[in-house]
Amino acid sequence: MADLSVEFAGLKLKNPFIIASSELTNKVEKIKWAEENGASAVSTKLTFLQIPLYARPYHIIEKGGAFYSPSGERMQVERTQELIAQCKEQTDLKIIANMMGPGEDLEGWAKLGRMLEEAGADMLELNMSCPNLGLMAKQMGVDEEPELGATLGKDPVLAGQVCKAVVDAVGIPVMPKMTPEANTMMVARSVQKAGAAAVSAINCPQSLPPLDIKNGGHPMYPSTGNQSFAGLCGPWIRPLAYRHIAQMRTICPDLPLAGGGGLMNWRHSVEMLMYGATVLTYCSLLYLKGYKAFAKIEPGLRKFMDENGYETLADMRGIALKYIVTPKEVDYIPMLPAIDLEKCNGCGLCAAPGHCECIEIIDGKAVLVDSKECYSCAVCYFLCNREAITMEKAPIEETRAGVAALEK
């Protein structure tokens, strides 16, 4: 039976599942749900020495589309200290305290870290990645806010200084949380040098939701009169999260990584591990589908590992990285689409793409009319809803890509 336990930057976790910092983790009652549904740790809601600005939580859920979170309630340190104490008393979870110091004031970061350590936090997560603070003010030319959130996290030198200040001040592991707006490889390297025990990634990139175009471009959602830029979360950022984790794992092979961003099921969790994550974080899954969906990840992951011969998480960690090469090194295999006429219903999805004239619908069925023009791009294969197209190896001289390669 697969062993899901993992040692993460000195924390012994029964499994790799962590609930990410958000309003899911601002009350002990909610944190208990996390434990009941199988999490091993939580990252508490963002905490400040002094909350810099009031922000009521609001969210935008585009029907059939993305999930935006432009703002959220923040915690004053005294409240988080109480929350940590309650969690320690009432749960067996490891408690990671997500915190943001006052910009470039290193002593402020250190002081906040010490206060959270004294309250019983097992680890500190340095939020240098919130897209809703600092970054927006900077982009809009407002100077009054200090370097906060993603503004700070984009600067490898400042990120390293902040990390070192907190590492020097506390005895528990320190984990900076990365913004995808940054070159995370450089920032991760800088904070590792500064003593970070781990890194977590990714926080939300900045975005804007759709508009009420019949109302002069007014925001879609009803509960605010205007809007600010919004953190984009959920499935839409997963490929971005994979990229950042894979890049950081490559550049910092020994750095424990908490990988998250758009993980919605056990399959995504496996992919994130294979791209190099040590543990996994979940947020939007809970917002959009609740704890019932989260609770399915553990049995799904365990079954996958048992069926595929992985005994521990370390057996899977980073195993996909060997397939990531430079474009020059990509191994091209000449292939052609093979169409199963029994399954094909002539819907025309495969014939529609604007870059390709190889497939036509003739007498209600898809027909490969010009194999010599086929690049083996496989778009038709991915578009077919009926699994009527398979890609099959072809003699090199029969495909356009093959011919081009031969002529080189």
Ligand X SMILES: Cc1cc2nc3c(=O)[nH]c(=O)nc-3n(C[C@H](O)[C@H](O)[C@H](O)COP(=O)(O)O)c2cc1C
Q: Are 324 and 331 in contact (CB under 8 A)?
A: no
Pair 34, 42: CB distance under 8 Å: yes
> Which residue, among 31, 46, 41, 121, has the nearest Cα to 84 in the 3D structure?
121
Among the listed residues 16, 219, 234, 276, the single contact to ligand X using CB under 6 A: 234
The binder of ligand X chosen from 60, 66, 169, 204 (CB under 6 A): 204
Joined tokens for residue 142 = 């407002």
Least CB distance from residue 308 to ligand X, whole Å? Answer: 25
Return the number of the residue (164 or 238) whose C-beta is nearest ligand X. 238
- How big, in percent rounded to 5, are the helix, strand and coil portions of the chain? 40, 20, 40
**Of residues 221 and 287, the one with the C-beta less far from ligand X:** 287
Site for ligand X in 239-268 (CB under 6 A): 260-263
Residue selected from 23, 35, 105, 360 as contacting ligand X according to rule CB under 6 A: 23
Which residues are CB-contacts of 195 (< 8 A; sequence separation ≥ 6)?
163, 164, 167, 168, 174
Q: Do 229 and 200 form a contact (C-beta atoms < 8 A)? A: no
402 sits near ligand X (criterion: CB under 6 A):
no
Q: Which amino acid is at 165?
A: A
Strand partners, 8: 11
- As measured in angstroms, the least distance from the Cβ of 175 to ligand X is 11
Residue 2 or 273 having the CB closest to ligand X: 273
Spell out, one character per residue from 90 to 109, where the chain touches ligand X: x when CB under 6 A holds, - when not: --------x-----------
69 sits near ligand X (criterion: CB under 6 A): yes
- H-state helical runs in 194-283: 238-251, 266-274
Given a contact cutoff of 8 angstroms between Cβ atoms, the answer to whether 162 and 175 are in contact is: no
Q: Is 120 exposed, middle or buried (0-12, 13-18, 19+ CB in 10 A)?
A: middle
Nearer to ligand X, 100 or 316 (CB): 100
206 binds ligand X (CB under 6 A): no
Mask for 120-159, x = binds ligand X (CB under 6 A): -------x--x-----------------------------
Phi/psi of residue 322, nearest 5 degrees: -65, -15
Query: Are the CB atoms for 386 and 345 separated by under 8 Å?
Result: yes
Residue from 49, 126, 283, 305 binding ligand X (CB under 6 A) = 283
Q: Please work out the total of residues on this chain that contact ligand X, with binding judged by CB under 6 A.
A: 26
Asked if 185 and 162 touch (Cβ cutoff 8 Å), the reply is: no
Contact letters (x/-) for ligand X, 325-364, by CB under 6 A? ----------------------------------------
399 contacts ligand X (rule: CB under 6 A):
no
Within 170-189, the residues that bind ligand X by CB under 6 A are 177
- Which of residues 124 and 350 has its CB atom nearest to ligand X in the complex? 124
Q: Using CB under 6 A, which of 4, 6, 17, 21 touches ligand X?
A: 21
Name the residue among 62, 64, 61, 18 with its Cα closest to residue 39.
Answer: 18
- The least distance separating ligand X from the CB of residue 125, rounded to whole angstroms, comes to 7
Of 82-90, 220-228, 276-284, 327-335: span binding ligand X (CB under 6 A): 276-284
Confirm or reject binding of residue 207 to ligand X (CB under 6 A). no
CB of 22 to ligand X, least distance (A): 3
DSSP string, 286-328: HHHHHHHHHHTHHHHHHHHHHHHT--BGGGTTTTTGGG---GG
- Per CB under 6 A, residues contacting ligand X are 20-23, 45-46, 69, 72, 98, 127, 130, 177, 203-204, 233-234, 237, 260-263, 282-285, 287
